[in-house]
Amino acid sequence: MDDSLRELYQDVILDHSKHPRHFGPLDGATNTAEGHNPLCGDRVKINLIVDADDRIADIKFEGKGCAISQASASMMTDMVAGRRVAEAEKLMGGFLHLVKGEDAADLTGDDREQLDVMAGVSAFPMRVKCATLAWHTMKSALEGGTEAAKTE
């Protein structure tokens, strides 16, 4: 099989897409945003509870999409839950570098290890937007924006 395909559709990604973590509605959300990828019509909704410490106490996502977008949303929610907002935004910066095939030196340790499975996306430029949709949407929610997040 094509190596880049195996890179893209690794078991971890397929597992996240089929059994997404943090999937569903969230009661008492303090921040909410919806993201839309006009290319494919995919939508994602991110709900967060940000506490007085500026910490993401809980995060959930809803929506339908391709394996890449679902896995990305699932991994993201898994990783940012419990972190401070600033840390989550820093993580996003590193993630964006990673999936675009750029230098992701700002991703270190466990974060790098966990997100490494998404690095294969960089070989598929048409699919980068699928991977980034949830992250852009989370950012938009954290910024309190009411407009739908876009993938560009």
Binding mask of the shown chain, residues 90 to 119, with x at each position contacting another protein by CB under 8 A: ------------------------------
68 binds another protein (CB under 8 A): yes
Nearest residue (CB) to another protein, 68 versus 142: 68
Least distance from another protein to the Cβ atom of residue 152, Å: 16
Residue 74 and residue 145: Cα distance in Å, rounded?
Answer: 22
14 binds another protein (CB under 8 A): yes
**Using CB under 8 A, which of 20, 35, 65, 94 touches another protein?**
65
2 binds another protein (CB under 8 A): yes
**Beta-carbon-side half-sphere exposure of residue 64 (alpha carbons within 13 Å):** 2
3-state secondary structure labels for all residues of the chain: CCHHHHHHCCHHHHHHHHCCCCECCCCCCCEEEEEEECCCCEEEEEEEEECCCCEEEEEEEEEECCHHHHHHHHHHHHHHCCCEHHHHHHHHHHHHHHHCCCCCCCCCHHHHHHHHHHHHHHHCHHHHHHHHHHHHHHHHHHCCCCCCECCC
12 binds another protein (CB under 8 A): no
Nearest residue (CB) to another protein, 112 versus 150: 150
Binding-residue total with another protein (CB under 8 A): 21
41 binds another protein (CB under 8 A): yes
By the criterion CB under 8 A, which residues form the site for another protein? 1-2, 4-5, 8-9, 14, 18, 39-42, 64-68, 124, 126-127, 130
